[in-house]
Amino acid sequence: MFDSIHEECGVFGIFENKKADVALSAYFGLYALQHRGQESCGIAVCDDGIFRHKRSDGLVSEVFTKEELNKLGTGNIAVGHVRYSTTGGHSHNNIQPLVIRHIKGNMALVHNGNLVNASQLRNSFELSGAIFHGTSDTEAVAYEIVKQRLNSSSTEEAVEKAMPNIKGAYSCILMTATKLIAFRDPCGFRPLCIGKTPDNAYIVASESCALETLGAEFIRDVRAGEIIVIGSDGLRSIDTKLSQKSSICIFEYIYFARPDSVIDGVSVHHARIRAGEILAEKSPVNADVVIGVPDSGLDSAIGYSRKSGIPYGMGFIKNKYIGRSFIQPQQNQRENAVRIKLNVIRETVKDKRVVLIDDSIVRGTTSARIVKILREAGAKEVHVRISSPPFLHSCYFGTDIDSEENLIAGKCHSAKEIAEFIGADSLEYLPVECLGELTENKFGFCSGCFTGNYPIDTKGAGGKNKFDKKIHSN
């Protein structure tokens, strides 16, 4: 309904040294990661080698009622997943965790990211007789691990053998009958971190905010190309020697992650504040108030206000009850869609020159509607500042960015032309050369959707609807 960017999922895993209510822990962890995917979710529990799982469409709170959590029962290991699928990728068989039963045991896998060679892997397995139940590239990851497990002494050895054959972005957590295994791709495209609760349970999750929800202490991030094995004897690390230059998705800091998370040692909140400060330095404007589009534009608006000296104001109230079940209006009613999601606080903007901070512009239609309702609320001028560079290219690593022909900036439109399209008095983006300042230039990152320069070869991969809509991101 809104021309916004979607991340594909969040992953969670917990290992207890005793029987515990791990399903409830996974529930709370996924609740904290709900912003990473609102279409479907799932939890799998291991209890003395017996796997029980529940997967369904809906939000975590909708799917996992008290009754459903009781059905999962107690255990000592659990994994969970929240998911948003790309267009055409919605299928019950794509909902995770994927629970696999093979000759050497059971495993449950959750995955965040996209493979660039998923189609090739899938074709290879199908030619050897494998049957795929869904369209997710996570199944290709699972098949590759099972294939290697047949000739390995342990699951972690199988994962280590599989990783060189899996190309692209993957932050995964795998549950066996006795272990929790986490592994991150050699470029570290997607986040993954480790924590420990006061009663010595280990947790692995996409973001540190999930650890804090359960009162766990942050230990560290899983390193790129690293395998973490958690069992009854504690935690150990396997260095696969595959690690390459860090290439975490820079959009994690701009939009995807929760602002209270810390990823690879950098505060998301601080990164967004810095984006606003840079915009104020590079794209100043005479104005009366700075407002942000909830939620990811708010921190950058604070940064812009601080640096510019222009007062910060609360410009919108967001309807927090809009979820995946919200009915999309008919085409002739779409003008009202933004009004249902965002209400303007008229007193903040009436008769004022407004600086509007948002995280991105995709097709421009939502931005145009937001500018329109600000003007209807009495804003004299609306100057739009975007805390990311313009989207020019597709993403191959787990972000649902529209195809290039649908990106308004990808049509060779200048900022001035886009400003006219959305009805703004001016429009400026975060300069692409300033992206490193968001992470204090501590490490490398992937900015391929802005520059077209990708950290690894993407030949043979596709973007939003890759592989003729056959394989879809997770």
Q: Which residues are catalytic?
A: 9
The values of phi and psi at residue 81, to 5°, are -155, 140
| CA–CA distance, 259 with 389 (Å, rounded to integer) | 19
What are the Cα distances from residue 171, in Å, to 155, 192, 193, 279, 398? 17, 6, 10, 32, 11
Residue type, 149: R
Helix (H) or strand (E) holding 445: strand 445-446
Q: Rounded to whole angstroms, how far apart are CA atoms 348 and 290? A: 9
Kindly write down the DSSP assignment for every residue of 78-130, as one continuous string: EEEEEE-PPTT---GGG-SPEEEEETTEEEEEEEES-BSSHHHHHHHHHHTT-
Q: How far apart are CA 232 and CA 176, in angstroms?
A: 13
- Residue 16's nearest CA partner among 46, 43, 44 is 46
Cα separation values, 365 from 59, 86, 215, 278, 369, Å: 27, 19, 41, 26, 6
List C-alpha distances in Å: 410 to 212, 429, 452. Answer: 39, 14, 11
Spacing of C-alpha 145 from chain mean position: 24
DSSP, res 254? I
Q: ∠146-152-158 over CA atoms, to 5°? A: 50
Could you tell me the CA-to-CA distances from 110 to 20, 25, 172, 182, 470 in Å, in that order?
21, 16, 6, 10, 20
In angstroms, the Cα distances linking 465 to 29, 139, 178, 474 are: 30, 17, 37, 12
Q: Is 196 exposed, middle or buried (0-12, 13-18, 19+ CB in 10 A)?
A: middle
